[in-house]
Chain A
């Protein structure tokens, strides 16, 4: 459980940092091929986790440039490590971070941005003083959703992380293991914990945003 929480928290934190500039670009760019980037970001929603996991495994393995670079740098392989799990989870949860943020960016009245510019603010100041405060709901939803989504993922973790106790054995995989070994009591305990936690998380999101369907990635 502790491993899962650490993974989810780390992934949520990194994702907010990555997703904000992506969402900003997706919202405000007028590049005509923007839809290709939008589709790419949204891919993990529809792709079977095993497909994503498989490609990641290949990309992170010792035969790929990334894997070789990692091995030369750290002295050990990337696949089946905690770091690999982090990378995989970031990609897998990316749309759940980008979409709520992009949709709250898009809801901001553009004349507010014009007003900010005319009042002497550059785009950096406008971003921090106007865009971010008015997107607070989207940012909260993105953080909570990626956290919860990472906590519950199974397929990608199994493909990329394997099932190494204490290193890559997350809760959802632990439940699977418990069921396989017919230890229903342990499975119950973990599953109930996860269920309660997920319910609490979503309740928190709804309470904070007070908007219907804030949890469904819109657009």
Chain B
């Protein structure tokens, strides 16, 4: 079953304009808030009406504005888990789950509720109302309420954003197992990069109402188009720079960090010499050496001083100040063991080792 969506929807000054297909399995819709993720889901569900477009699920047309087709939400056979869950506060968990299968006989309804509650591990809270449930239980009831109707597509609007990591991954596992036998398309909206890597076979990157990139999580998430997305994708360092020279033959270019005489080699992107860019570097992609390394393939070797050092759990975060008249701080992550072995402490002089391809030039917005 494939979902095919092409639509335009205006909301004030904002326009959502997308065209994509989503096959069975999880497709992540990733973007910052205000990029149109929720509006997209609402249009597919039929609770928001696009000005123009066509939405089809397999050969079933849900919306075709040109032919005047607009199937009401109740007949779209869609499962929707809202960000705020929208559980009915006056019904018990069982009442919520059974809401969408009222057309079945009482006995069959009972069996279906028990089955889905079992696979989402909420059978012990079925007689409680939403107010008496924990956050994770509520999330599971919300999922179970949608899944019990046997939807042909599942729309999830940041369903796990309020939960801790452990609960998130358990629910994700349960959801994967549920879909193993069904193979329906699942559109999963999120602005958390962790969920992108944990869940997706495929990511759509949504920006200001348009899909700017799509593909496997690793490919999409490593190619931020501009600095806001880079930040969202977990690039801790966004350094101001200017393009100094381009070498198309070797696929690299040189940029100079703003206000310094420090040059970095980065992959070649479409930016002219003299154009300002920002260089996005993940803190975990930077190596630390206590003396100038020799015989390494990495092209960027920067002398720096440790300005600050914090330990958070199993992670040590360094603020490395580059040796320059204009101070530039770079965040670097190392393990506590490496920190101890190298004797890293504030004031110590170090060398930062950064591969060309760990530097991502992005547009500054």
Interface positions of A (Cβ within 8 A of B): 109, 111-112, 114-122, 125, 129-130, 133-134
Contact = CB atoms under 8 A, between A and B. Distances in A.
B100 interface: yes
Given A111-B86, A120-B103, A125-B102, 19 more contacts: A109-B86, A112-B86, A112-B88, A114-B47, A114-B80, A114-B82, A115-B88, A116-B99, A117-B46, A117-B73, A118-B76, A119-B146, A120-B74, A120-B100, A120-B102, A120-B149, A121-B99, A121-B100, A133-B90
Nearest to A115: B86
Nearest to B142: A115
Contact of A118 (B78, B88, B89, B102): B78
B162 interface: no
A15 B140 CA distance: 42
A109 B85 CA distance: 11
20 contacts: A109-B84, A111-B82, A111-B86, A112-B86, A112-B88, A114-B47, A115-B80, A116-B99, A117-B46, A117-B73, A117-B74, A118-B47, A118-B79, A119-B74, A120-B75, A120-B149, A121-B99, A125-B102, A129-B88, A134-B90
A118 B85 CA distance: 13
B122 interface: no
* Chain A facing B: main interface SS: helix
9 residue pairs, one from A and one from B, having the closest CB atoms: A119-B100, A115-B86, A111-B86, A117-B73, A114-B47, A133-B90, A120-B74, A118-B80, A118-B73
A125 B100 CA distance: 11
Nearest to A132: B90
A133 B88 CA distance: 10
B72 interface: yes
B187 to A, nearest CB: 14
Contacts, number: 57
Contacts of B332: none
Nearest to B145: A119
Contacts of B279: none
Given A117-B73, A118-B74, A119-B99, A130 B88 contact: yes
B171 interface: no
Nearest to A122: B74
Contacts of B99: 116, 119, 121, 129
A70 B88 CA distance: 47
Nearest to B84: A111
B45 interface: yes
Contacts of A112: 86, 88
A129 to B, nearest CB: 7
Contacts of A125: 102
Contact of A117 (B47, B145, B149): B47
Contacts of B100: 119-121
B147 to A, nearest CB: 11
A120 B149 CA distance: 9
Nearest to A119: B100
Interface string B84-110: 101011100000000110110000000
Contacts of B86: 109, 111-112, 114-115
Contacts of A119: 74, 99-100, 145-146, 149
B68 to A, nearest CB: 20
A107 B79 CA distance: 25
Contacts of B82: 111, 114-115
B316 to A, nearest CB: 43
A167 B47 CA distance: 54
B9 to A, nearest CB: 16
B45 A118 contact: yes
A6 B100 CA distance: 42
Q: Which of A119, A121, A122, A125 has the most CB of B within 10 A?
A: A119
Contacts of B89: 134
A28 B145 CA distance: 26
A112 to B, nearest CB: 5
Contacts of B78: 118
B143 to A, nearest CB: 13
Contacts of B75: 120
Given A111-B82, A129-B99, A117 B90 contact: no
Contacts of B76: 118
Contacts of B145: 119
